[in-house]
Amino acid sequence: MVFFGSISRGISSSLSKTRYTHYRKLRFLSNIPENTVYGGPKPQNPNQRVTLMTLRQKYKKGEAITMVTGYDYPSGVHIDIAGIDICLVGDSASMVVHGHDTTLPITIDEMLVHCRAVARGAKRPLLVGDLPFGTYESSTKQAVDTAVRVLKEGGMDAIKLEGGAPSRITAAKAIVEAGIAVIGHVGLTPQAISVLGGFRPQGRNIDSAVKVVETAMALQEAGCFSVVLECVPAPVAAATTSALSIPTIGIGAGPFCSGQVLVYHDLLGMMQHPHHAKVTPKFCKQFGQVGDVINKALLEYKEEVTNGSFPGSAHSPYKIGAADMDGFLNELQKLGFNDAASAAAAAAEKI
């Protein structure tokens, strides 16, 4: 019995170590309750991970919420290091990354690739994944199933969907009731451009302005924890922010929102191609001119490769010893590769 007890304790200890090692590798998602009641990942440190509670506290204190839209691992890392509150993996990747003219073509599978890449890089921000067009409008079941995939397969903490139509409000409510945090989106809703007649600002007349407020209120009642206001006049955004008891995140909606969001590539001034100039919004401020730096670096690279100055000895770090070099030359000559031997000898002399 002592023998079997020893084996049992050994197996138990091994399993415990395996579980511990596994949990240490997990990213502690903010959709795990902050006060956990089960054995598993340790309770989260609010100073390290942005959660819904973090955002609620900032909102109550009147502190501005920062959001940046990113699409890959490098942008996720940069957003993380900067201490941005929310990282949105937006369906605008369709335009910015994939080169389409609208957000409509991107698929859920493509979105999940972007989500996973961002999740690997951004450990601190609340991660929000967009539900792409055609993945949540048909039924509440479709909406919930897609939202579940974004969390389970994409590593996101919450989802965002575009509000407006009653079916989308219903979808938001169903997703919230399924236990998934939701950000709503009103004003210019890019997925509805066929109805809106293009990328047009909203709320510029009485009926449209009232609709912005009413739709935001409906999303709040559906359980959304925040609402994005896109391309609406500042007074309309101010009215909406005042009417709601949840944060508003503005994008082209003026300064009277609870927070702001811009696309990573846009705010860095990264894109210089005519396509990106065409899709870069008027409201975006460029906080850098990274695109100019990239273009300059690429031109210098091309020039140095063309004139033969790159790579020089400083960037040819791998060496072969003199004895091995002599042996290598002899082997080449034995094989009849005399020209190759001469080329190798000349290269060794030059480096």
φ/ψ of residue 59, rounded to 5: -60, -45
Q: Are 125 and 86 in contact (CB under 8 A)?
A: yes
- DSSP E strands: which ranges in 81-145? 86-89, 126-130
CB-count burial class (<10 Å; 0-12, 13-18, 19+) for 35? exposed
Q: Are 136 and 147 in contact (CB under 8 A)?
A: yes
Token code pair at residue 285: 């401020």
* Amino acid at position 311, single letter: P
d(CA 11, CA 9): 6
Q: Of 137, 230, 303, 331, which residue is the catalytic one?
A: 230
Three-state DSSP at 135 gives coil
**Cβ neighbours of residue 330 under 8 Å, at least 6 residues apart?**
none
User: Is 230 among the catalytic positions?
Assistant: yes
Place of tokens 């030059």: 350
Whether the upstream peptide bond of residue 190 has omega within 30° of 0, thus cis, is: no
φ/ψ of residue 225, rounded to 5: -90, -10
d(CA 321, CA 341): 16
**Cβ neighbours of residue 143 under 8 Å, at least 6 residues apart?**
131, 135, 136, 137, 161, 171, 172, 174, 175
d(CA 226, CA 228): 7
Query: Which residues does the annotation mark as catalytic?
Result: 230
